[in-house]
Structure 1
Amino acid sequence: MRSVVAAAAFFGSAGAFNSRGALRGSLLARRSASTLRGGGVQLADGHYEYLVIGAGSGGIASARRAAQYGAKVAVVERARLGGTCVNVGCVPKKLFFTAGVHMEAMHTAKGYGLDVGTPPKFDWEGFKARRDAYIANLNGIYLRNMQNSKVEFVEGYASFVDAKTVEVTGHGRFTADNILIAAGGKPIHPPVPGGELAKTSDDFFDLEHQPRTAVVVGAGYVAVELAFIMHELGTDTTLVCRGEKVLRHGFDPMVQDVLNSEMERQGISMRRKTELGSIKLAEDGTYEVTFKDGSMLTGIDVVLYAAGRRPILTGMCLENAGVELSDRGFITVDEYERTNVPGIHALGDVTTTGYELAPVAIAAGRRLSDRLYGGEPRARLEYDRIPTVVFSHPPIGTVGLTEPDALEQYGEASVKVYKSSFKPMHYAMCEPDLKLPMAMKLVCVG
């Protein structure tokens, strides 16, 4: 048996991965770092070796790596530093997920002889205040990290004048030898009557009060995670998806089967093969949600739409630089993060790579700078077998090919599958209805 090509597991702590490589070349940047806020004055020298549009995880990682090699670097950003991951993605989501883990622990504690007293109640308002303060601190850390790496930060909106020139609101024009587009993505609203009444995953983190009832629309990992978060913390939650199952794309059938069954067992209401028809604001301030089959839900406090994202490219004037987009509006890149225009690169959520994951963008950004400024002409990120984690209850970890993909690629005679499922010892002393499943699968070639 020559290689394991896939693995999937339920239950346990989930973590992200990072890429670390030895830095070669100069580690001394050539000038002091500074920050240009909106309305600031352009530097006398408006030329950079590397200009990064977007201060998310991938953009900052690439900028800092290039600066460590000695390049003159600037990062342009219009919003909070850290991008989706820090502000409206990984970080606040994981804090919510951890709150759910603590809630679960309080329910299972009785089996281990611990009296936790009255049923726990989640303080949404207090949690949000502490979470927002934590994220604000991270924003400051990102700025200090750029300053320590001698990366210039320019606050404003960036648009292309031509393939080598970018104009930033309030600061004028800057030129660069290489330009990286790492502006990230944003969720879309549902294209139905009243769709503007729905909240997106970004909006979810702005909610000041915990909803009593919620409808989550979507079948991907964002929808699944939001549904579990609210359910674990006490919100009456309904998940609506067009197909028979959630996580239908990119996840092994075992993952789909176990998770779909577990969501219903835990009490999340599932409306399968159902499409959103319209949203209407009722007189009492709640929402009426109508589906295309004519059915309806009333008295809903919040409708969360988590069924699609688009790249943040509006107003960037990519046509002035000649950058090509895919049919869906994403920047087309090759395996080296290059666009069709020499000297213009792109990574992360704006590209056709299909991986909207912060650790992937970080790794891709660092390798890009290794190639451009670190003397590694063949450095690039391998997009095969990238680990993925879903912060559900139980959490999911998966890497490599699914069983159907392995069978299609290698043939039935070459694929061996090993499976195991059991109740973890963690729940040995708990009531049966509190025990989460463990399911594992190895898909091997050989």
Structure 2
Amino acid sequence: MSNFDYDLFVIGAGSGGVRASRIAASHGARVAVAEDYRVGGTCVIRGCVPKKLLVYGAHFAEDLKDARHFGWDVPDCKFDWDRLRDNVQAEVTRLEGLYGQTLENHKVTVFKTRATIAGPQKVRLADGTELTAERILVATGGWPHVPEFPGSEHAITSNEVFHLDKLPKRVVIAGGGYIANEFAGIFNEFGSKVTIVNRGDTILRGYDEQIRDRLLQISMTKGIDFKFNAPFEKIVKNDDGTLTVHLGGCEPIVADAVLVAAGRVPNTKGVGLEEVGVDLDDHGAIKVDESNQSSVPSIYAVGDVTNRIQLTPVAIREGQAFADSVFGGKPTVVDYQNVPSAVFSHPPIGAVGMTEAEARNKLGSIRVYTSDFRAMKNVLAGRNERALYKMVVNAATDQVVGLHMIGPDAPEILQAAAIAVKAGLTKADFDNTVALHPSMAEELVLLK
């Protein structure tokens, strides 16, 4: 028998931590996991799942109007934020229960409290209880970054936005990344006046330039206001509860809520990592090797806390790879090439592989194919909003090295197309595939 209380102790019951716990336990390990908030982590509790439900709710604003063009006599409808908020939270609670049940079914011990590292093979619970484990896995995820400026305490982050008491009539959103653009689309469709404030001059860094320019154009057409090169100076809370946002180079903006979406940082503060010699990078992320092992051999880490690729499916892959490698006798390394991603903006974006700029930089000779079209539904609905599909091809090999899309259902279409890019298929392979007509996805096999 082992001299340790557990073979594996996991700190953090998010997507990566739950997957690692479940798989390690299925391999016969004695596993415990500690979570100081709610089982499920950022994605399930206050991230991609509740956000996607809000995105679905926001889409009805346009769908109800468009339905009239398709013969439906739809009256003017009123949106009820309280009802959607409460329904979303009920679904989150349901999912939290399923995650907890999964751990219970695999005989994983769950401590619903904070845990910190007290030694290379020791953890300390909030009540002072100390437990030993042969291996410790840190899966504490990321945390919203709020820059320091006067009045920053009056702003909210993506942690709090799902619990607003009422729908703000005017929202200022700080940031230009995917979270900022997603919530801009959500609140705009709910009827709020939305202003995105960006200290730089670009939205969605890392995405293809044509695609992000198209989103900017469509967003402005929908009524979203953008302020570029406008750093926050201060937020002043007024006597009536409203907020005045003071920006560099811009007139002050009065708002009912300010959402800071300025990126996420690894959640490593106060975990006890540095005290036991775990190396962190300049951003506070845990440095790990390809086996998810830190500088302390008994301590591992997966997910956003390592700041490799901050995506839930990547954290799940890393958790699975860790458990299979360490406890299942199946050494597994996660492949980070051609990881697809999406922005659930209005309209949404899907992307995989290299952007045009990246491909030109790396490959030199490339071919680029685009399709710029109005979706059939938009035509009949009288909407001028256009979709844009873009394929980047290595001219020397004909291999498709990047796909970038913006338009209705782009992420749903991109998921299947990402398989082709991951498999290294060529433009000729796409051309040889018969189109599925009439569909938006057929544009991918008709690019000339």
- Out of 40, 54, 65, which is 1:82 matched to? 40
- Out of 275, 299, 319, which is 2:274 matched to? 319
1:421: Cα distance to partner? Answer: 0.8
Q: In structure 2, what is the equivalent of residue 439 of structure 1? A: 388
Given that 1:80 and 1:87 are in contact with CA atoms closer than 8 Å, whether structure 2 keeps it comes out as yes
- The answer to whether structure 1 residue 229 and structure 2 residue 183 are counterparts is no
- The answer to whether structure 1 residue 396 and structure 2 residue 349 are counterparts is yes
- Distance in 1 (alpha carbons) for counterparts of 2:72 and 2:372: 28
- Out of 339, 342, 346, which is 1:386 matched to? 339
1:199: Cα distance to partner? Answer: 0.8
- Distance in 2 (alpha carbons) for counterparts of 1:186 and 1:144: 26
Q: In structure 1, what is the equivalent of residue 315 of structure 2? A: 361
- Out of 322, 337, 340, which is 2:295 matched to? 340
Q: What amino acid maps onto 1:428 in structure 2?
A: V
Q: Please give the TM-score of this superposition, normalised by the length of structure 1.
A: 0.86
- The answer to whether structure 1 residue 144 and structure 2 residue 101 are counterparts is yes
Q: What amino acid maps onto 1:239 in structure 2?
A: I
Q: CA RMSD in A?
A: 1.6
- Distance in 1 (alpha carbons) for counterparts of 2:250 and 2:373: 41
- Distance in 2 (alpha carbons) for counterparts of 1:358 and 1:85: 7
Q: In structure 1, what is the equivalent of residue 444 of structure 2? A: none
Does the residue aligned with 2:44 lie in a helix, a strand or coil? helix
Given that 1:57 and 1:85 are in contact with CA atoms closer than 8 Å, whether structure 2 keeps it comes out as yes
Q: In structure 1, what is the equivalent of residue 142 of structure 2? A: 185
1:46: Cα distance to partner? Answer: 5.9
- Out of 206, 211, 218, which is 1:250 matched to? 206
Given that 2:266 and 2:283 are in contact with CA atoms closer than 8 Å, whether structure 1 keeps it comes out as no
- The answer to whether structure 1 residue 422 and structure 2 residue 376 are counterparts is no
Given that 2:173 and 2:197 are in contact with CA atoms closer than 8 Å, whether structure 1 keeps it comes out as yes
Structure 2 counterparts to residues 293-332 of structure 1, below 5 A: 293=249, 295-298=251-254, 300-332=255-287
Q: In structure 2, what is the equivalent of residue 41 of structure 1? A: none
Structure 2 counterparts to residues 170-181 of structure 1, below 5 A: 170=127, 172-181=129-138
1:314: Cα distance to partner? Answer: 2.2
Q: In structure 2, what is the equivalent of residue 264 of structure 1? A: 220
- Distance in 2 (alpha carbons) for counterparts of 1:79 and 1:166: 17
1:365: Cα distance to partner? Answer: 0.6
Does the residue aligned with 2:72 lie in a helix, a strand or coil? coil
Structure 2 counterparts to residues 401-412 of structure 1, below 5 A: 401-411=354-364
- Percent sequence identity is 39
- Distance in 1 (alpha carbons) for counterparts of 2:150 and 2:319: 40
1:72: Cα distance to partner? Answer: 0.9
- Distance in 2 (alpha carbons) for counterparts of 1:127 and 1:393: 19
1:294: Cα distance to partner? Answer: 5.1
Q: What amino acid maps onto 1:210 in structure 2?
A: L
Q: Which consecutive segments of 4 or more residues in structure 1 shift more than 4 A?
A: none
1:283: Cα distance to partner? Answer: 1.6
- Distance in 2 (alpha carbons) for counterparts of 1:104 and 1:359: 30
- Distance in 2 (alpha carbons) for counterparts of 1:269 and 1:154: 45
Cα gap change, 1:336/1:179 in structure 2, threshold over 3 Å: closer, same or farther? Answer: same
Q: What amino acid maps onto 1:199 in structure 2?
A: I
Q: What amino acid maps onto 2:95 in structure 1?
A: L
- Distance in 1 (alpha carbons) for counterparts of 2:32 and 2:385: 48
Q: Please give the TM-score of this superposition, normalised by the length of structure 2.
A: 0.86
- Distance in 2 (alpha carbons) for counterparts of 1:140 and 1:56: 13
- Out of 101, 108, 123, which is 2:66 matched to? 108
1:48: Cα distance to partner? Answer: 1.1
- Distance in 2 (alpha carbons) for counterparts of 1:242 and 1:171: 44
1:188: Cα distance to partner? Answer: 2.4
Q: In structure 1, what is the equivalent of residue 324 of structure 2? A: 370
1:362: Cα distance to partner? Answer: 0.6
Given that 1:274 and 1:291 are in contact with CA atoms closer than 8 Å, whether structure 2 keeps it comes out as yes
1:45: Cα distance to partner? Answer: 8.4
- Distance in 2 (alpha carbons) for counterparts of 1:102 and 1:226: 15
1:245: Cα distance to partner? Answer: 2.6
Q: In structure 2, what is the equivalent of residue 211 of structure 1? A: 168
Does the residue aligned with 1:223 lie in a helix, a strand or coil? helix
- Between 100-109 and 60-69, report the one with greater CA deviation: 100-109
Does the residue aligned with 2:163 lie in a helix, a strand or coil? coil
1:170: Cα distance to partner? Answer: 2.6
Given that 2:266 and 2:307 are in contact with CA atoms closer than 8 Å, whether structure 1 keeps it comes out as no
Q: In structure 1, what is the equivalent of residue 78 of structure 2? A: 121
Does the residue aligned with 1:209 lie in a helix, a strand or coil? coil
- Distance in 2 (alpha carbons) for counterparts of 1:45 and 1:184: 29
Q: What amino acid maps onto 1:313 in structure 2?
A: T
Q: What amino acid maps onto 2:188 in structure 1?
A: H
- Distance in 1 (alpha carbons) for counterparts of 2:283 and 2:3: 37
Does the residue aligned with 2:111 lie in a helix, a strand or coil? strand
- The answer to whether structure 1 residue 98 and structure 2 residue 53 are counterparts is no
Cα gap change, 1:171/1:74 in structure 2, threshold over 3 Å: closer, same or farther? Answer: farther
- Deviation digits for residues 171-197 of structure 1, max 9, x if unmatched? 611111221100111112231110111
- Between 67-76 and 170-179, report the one with greater CA deviation: 170-179
- Distance in 2 (alpha carbons) for counterparts of 1:117 and 1:342: 64
Q: What amino acid maps onto 2:354 in structure 1?
A: L
- Distance in 2 (alpha carbons) for counterparts of 1:110 and 1:352: 46
Q: In structure 1, what is the equivalent of residue 31 of structure 2? A: 73
Does the residue aligned with 1:370 lie in a helix, a strand or coil? helix
Q: In structure 2, what is the equivalent of residue 282 of structure 1? A: 238
- Deviation digits for residues 411-443 of structure 1, max 9, x if unmatched? 1x2x22111110011222112xx3432101111
Does the residue aligned with 1:63 lie in a helix, a strand or coil? helix
Q: Gaps (5+ residues) in structure 2?
A: 398-448
1:239: Cα distance to partner? Answer: 0.7
